[in-house]
Amino acid sequence: MKALIKKLVEAWGPSGFEHHVRTLIEDEIKDLCDEMRVDSMGNLICRVGEKTDDNLRIMIAAHMDEIGLMVSHVDRQGYLRFTNIGGLFPANLSGNRVKFENGVVGVIGMENPWSRPKEIPGLDGFFIDVSDATEDDQNRNADIKVGDPAAFWRAFEERGNRLVAKSMDDRIGCAVAIETMRRLKDSGAKHEIYFVFTVQEEVGLRGARPAAYGLEPDFGIALDVTGTGDTPKGMKMSIDLGKGAAIKLRDNGLIVPPAVKDLMIDTAEKYDIPYQLEILSGGSTDAAGIQSARAGVPSGCISIPCRYVHTVSETVDITDVEACVSLLEKILSNPIENIRPN
């Protein structure tokens, strides 16, 4: 599974430009599903199993996109100015590297860093340096133009059980979905399951909403990362790295229905899968988009604990990842009853 994770997290794919990631996933799952198609938004939709009178249509969503940036202006000196694609933290920008689709790697610099070391500017105080010391220095950005997107760049690193990369959010959710599909290929699915690898989650759940509208699922589960409360002066939340899958109870866009929460907790306890309960005070996931589709869909989220979210060093623990796979596989391979409100 680690080889798959490395392949996914090192792929290039900011929001709205997920095609490289989608191609990788298509190759991984082409023999694991009964039907595969790409919708008009760019979501990759993969069906496993068939709908009957006795089972459910379930939508599993993991987003393919990552945060990034887009060139908004080239200044007189040839430096690239940019705007955000998704949630960028200015404190994490200076000195980081970005990669454009054509392979050009740039370094993010900050204006006047030594004269105001304690001041962090807005995005307009940063620039991207793509100089290459050619004779015609004015053409150093000739391959990059206004409107070109870039993603952050760092190689995947493994440190014992800890996996570090620039886009665990949410390629690790995609890896959980793919590994679950592999297991269901052997164990069999009890439901009609649509694994949807969504686009543009980081800019407003734009892929999950129309996908859920079209599929009309009976039940939805998002797979995404969540923060942890186990770093110095970090967030006040009861999630630790290495202590199991995080079962979401609430975030800024979703209050998980009691029946969905109970299903996940009961399944984890029945099969001795380590789990934690998650309440996230900032952000949301594709589950919020699924929940509000059409007349409403009971929805929840299985979260992978992750330190340093929205940085180039997002860190997960492989034992948590495996717990998330086990939990999802057991939910999908068993009958599900009473998921709708009484």
For every residue of the chain, which 3-state class applies, written as one string?
CHHHHHHHHCCCCECCCCHHHHHHHHHHHCCCCCEEEECCCCCEEEEECCCCCCCCEEEEEEECCECEEEEEEECCCCCEEEEEECCCCHHHCCCCEEEECCCCEEEEEECCCCCCCCCCCCHHHEEEECCCCCCCHHHCCCCCCCCCEEEECCCCEEECCEEEECCHHHHHHHHHHHHHHHHHHHHCCCCEEEEEEECCHHHCCCCHHHHHHHHCCCEEEEEEEECCCCCCCCCCCCCCCCCCEEEEEECCCCECCHHHHHHHHHHHHHCCCCEEEEECCCCCCHHHHHHCCCCCCCEEEEEEECECCCCCCEEEEHHHHHHHHHHHHHHHCCCCCCCCCC
Q: Is the pLDDT of residue 28 over 60?
A: yes
Please provide the CATH number assigned to the domain covering 2-66+166-332. 3.40.630.10
- 294 forms beta bridges with none
CA 171, 173, 174, 179 torsion-angle sign: positive
Position 340 scores a pLDDT of 79
Q: What is the pLDDT of residue 56?
A: 94
pLDDT at 51 over 70: yes
Q: What is the mean pLDDT of residues 139-164?
A: 89
Residue-level pLDDT at 141: 58
For the cut 80, the answer to whether the pLDDT of residue 117 exceeds it is no
Instruction: Give percent of the chain with pLDDT exceeding 70.
Output: 96
Query: 103 pLDDT exceeds 70?
Result: yes
Q: Say yes or no to pLDDT of 167 above 60.
A: yes
Higher pLDDT, 117 or 240: 240
**Which CATH class name applies to 68-152?**
mainly beta
pLDDT of residue 142: 61
Q: Are 76 and 62 in contact (CB under 8 A)?
A: no
**pLDDT on residue 275:** 98
Per-residue pLDDT band at 113 (split at 50, 70, 90): confident
- Report pLDDT for 138: 52
Averaged pLDDT for residues 304-333: 97
Percentage, residues of the chain above pLDDT 90: 84
- Give the tens place of pLDDT for each residue, 118-151: 788 899 999 999 988 765 555 555 689 999 999 9
Is this prediction's pTM over 0.85? yes
State the pairing for strand pair 68-74/80-85: antiparallel
Mean pLDDT score of the chain, rounded to an integer? 93
Chain segment 193-228, per-residue pLDDT in tens: 999 999 999 999 999 999 999 999 999 999 999 999
Query: Structural domain boundaries of the chain?
Result: 2-66+166-332, 68-152
201: annotated active-site residue = yes
Catalytic residue of the set 18, 179, 201, 278: 201
Whether the predicted pLDDT of 342 surpasses 70:
no
Reading the block at residue 342, the tokens are 């009484």
Query: What pLDDT is attached to residue 339?
Result: 84
Looking at residue 133, what is its pLDDT? 75
pLDDT digits (tens, 9 = 90+) for 235-254: 889 999 999 999 999 999 99
CA atoms of 25 and 16, how far apart (whole Å): 16
